[in-house]
Amino acid sequence: MEALRATPAERIHEELGRLPTVRTLPAWIRSLGDGDARAFTKLIGALHAYHDAAIAPYWSHIQAQIEADRAVRGRALLDGGADALLSSLPPTMRWNAPVLEVDYPVDRDLHLGGRGLLLQPSFFCRRTPVSLQNADLTPVLVYPARTMSESAPVVPQAPRSLGKLVGHTRSVVLGSIGGGCTTSELARRVGVSAASASQHAGVLREAGLVLTLRNGSAVMHTLTPLGAALLRGGHRTPQPRSKARSAVPERAQGGHVPGRSTPAAM
């Protein structure tokens, strides 16, 4: 919030000018570009209120979804490099080297020019990805968080005290799920049948320790923030309040930026 408040009025005025002109912006929003302190107070208050009502109650679930997606992409990168990572993305993005095609409402192109591309899974991104418009930053492509049937590496063993709480087998299951895995991988790691692994994962899921995401017949198990904290011995990562970025989202076809002419090349 402080970063938002410290954003120069000139930049806000410029970025507000990029918004669609289909309808007129409210006067108090336009006044943000003039550095109106009262307008900033109103905006920050609204963001805090929205966070408390719509984000904070579901923060653990949101974190779990994002971590699951990161586990899938990370495993794909380790197993097959950039090609496998880009091929693992949701169906709205199609990797046809050296071009990443992305479904967007309008047709635009983005040349990376050696700058790289930051892929950011988002719980709140729906239908099509969004590219953030800021020429000073590495191009950012925000896409709907979604996991597929990839898997992730094993994490360290759970602490012995955890076995006393949930039982030895389920503590091993929880530790094996740590980095994310499919049911068949979980069974191999723990040394049990697939049916038994699925049952143990189900019990942990009902306890709020594990999140299971499906893609057709495939599933991937990952830890929730509560499950990760239990695995670490109770040291939970602080949950931040809402964050704001002054960059204006730009919606375009193929993760593209207006005024450019060819698809994004890696």
Cα 6 to Cα 2, 107, 137, 138, 248, distances in angstroms: 6, 34, 18, 22, 16
Tokens 């094993």 belong to: 154
Q: What is the per-residue pLDDT for 94?
A: 92
pLDDT, residue 52, reads: 93
- Spans of the chain, pLDDT less than 70: 20-22, 133, 146-166, 215-218, 233-266
Nearest by Cα to 85 from 102, 62, 69: 69
> What pLDDT, on the 0 to 100 scale, is given for residue 197?
92
Work out the angle between the directed axes of helices 59-87 and 225-232 (0-180°, nearest 10).
Answer: 90
Q: Of 70, 56, 55, 63, nearest to 225 (Cα)?
A: 63
DSSP character at residue 26: P
How confident is the model at residue 16, as a pLDDT? 84
Residue type at position 226: L
pLDDT at residue 72 in the model:
78
Sequence ranges of the domains in the chain: 2-57, 59-266
pTM of the model: 0.56
SS3 134: coil
What is the CATH number that goes with domain 59-266?
1.10.10.10
**What are the strands, taking DSSP E only, across the chain?**
93-96, 99-102, 118-122, 130-133, 140-144, 210-215, 218-223, 248-250, 264-265
Residues contacting residue 238 through CB under 8 Å, at least 6 positions apart: none
pLDDT value at position 33? 82
* Exposure class string for 173-196: b at 16+ Cβ within 10 A, else e: bbbbbbbbbbbebbbebbebeeee
CA triple 126-131-137, angle to 5 deg: 140
Between CA 65 and CA 223 the distance in angstroms is: 9
Q: Supply the pLDDT for residue 6.
A: 82
231 burial type by CB count under 10 A (0-12 exposed, 13-18 middle, 19+ buried): buried
248, 15 Cβ separation under 8 angstroms: yes
Q: Is the peptide bond before 98 cis (omega within 30 degrees of 0)?
A: yes
Q: Please report, in angstroms and rounded to a whole number, the separation of the first and last CA atoms in the chain.
A: 34
Closest CA to 252 of 137, 136, 101: 101
pLDDT digits (tens, 9 = 90+) for 194-251: 999 999 999 898 888 888 877 556 678 888 888 888 887 654 444 444 443 333 344 3
DSSP bridge pairs for 109: 257
- For residues 186 and 193, what is the distance between their CA atoms, to the nearest angstrom? 9
